[in-house]
A and B are shown apart, each in its own frame.
Chain A
């Protein structure tokens, strides 16, 4: 049976773990508000950007698009290598957040077995995972670690530059983005998005205001060419923010559960400690009484 001292030690260590998990929960809870705010704040820009692209396209028509560099981003390419952008967390202790992501990534890789894969990793966990992989034709072209929880638009721009450079230089037939979407405080959803080639539906976006008779400077094609990378950047930015908020939410619930478990454990151990102490007192009393009886008798 564990001695009193052992149990006390055990309680002390569980207590300090609980303190850590509780502090992590509070930190995540404080940050998540900000992360959610950032998602909301990024929405108007993305909406206006898409509308502007739609407007521009409705002015140009598809003939105007032919032969421009912008056309390249929409064109379906022949089957070739693929590009995977994996957004994970930098740190663990956030429940199944990373595990599920990596599982999804592994499934995607299995699906595309035999093709050359260019990978872009955001977050330390994903990078380590991709580095560990063996026996796959996989090249880690870019990695970005340590950006959470302060992911900014600058990071999204960097990512966009890298991916577009890769897309222009190699015959990559598609770019897929895998990340965790922030659904609610208790649920995340894994999303895998086909980013490139761009789908033409972004051009026929709802109510393009036809006949508005816009003037453009510089020319429409050039304008569209510089707008599209920004569209991609806005997509990346959203993914980064979603992932950031989802990570914090996952960490919050994981740490809350951990704190609760620690509290339960401490209760159990305290009970055990009291029982042990009581048993010791009883034995001692027994010994004294029986000793006195032996003397008196």
Chain B
């Protein structure tokens, strides 16, 4: 197992550089440049050229990339073009809230999807099953931003029970309770969307396992239906679910860009949006880097978990 992890990490290195190169090229292909976004349109052309020269934007692309790479290898991600703060500091401030939001949503999604999927499969073709299926389609089909806006309107504005956005109350004393209160709406929206998709997988996987001979053996032992379903069947049904949940994580990061806009959540999703709009190249590169790290490491974690849960799979 140790050797497998080392090998996977080594393979990840070229993939990682490939990602940075590709995102660098695509970013530069986008129309407009940071200087146009930065400066008053009445600024004389010579001044703009000077600024471009200063930021290194007149260098050939490969020189720009190698300069960035050189900086990165020395642990230096550069400075934001728009706020002039170090990129590492910008990301450092924003990554925490995003990870908090994403992991809470994923957890909620799984906590809904697994029991709902089990109930659906155990009572296959019953009314309960049809109801779960309908709810899951609803959860999948409603665009998250729409559900988000609807919930903000009802819970935040009409009823006034929950804050409409942000992570803490402005001017408030803060504290964990305050953050949790702010998390309820965005986590619900993301969680429901994830659960809607995952319920189908859990149901299908469970239905497959419920047909297996070893469940008859478990019943022949005199185990209760509860044990048969939740110990013998679930352990097997979860194996394919792990892959599906692992594949959800990159989507979750992408989805947070929109969700963080809707809920004014101060995470990297919002930072990404701002950086794209202002063509803030160093910040965008830093964000790509973080996203690549998260996705690559989550893939590895998924594969390792897979082998841990399924004894038939070994890595060497």
- Asked if A pairs with B, the answer is no
Q: Which residues of B contact A (CB under 8 A)?
A: none
Q: Which residues of A are interface residues toward B (Cβ below 8 A)? A: none
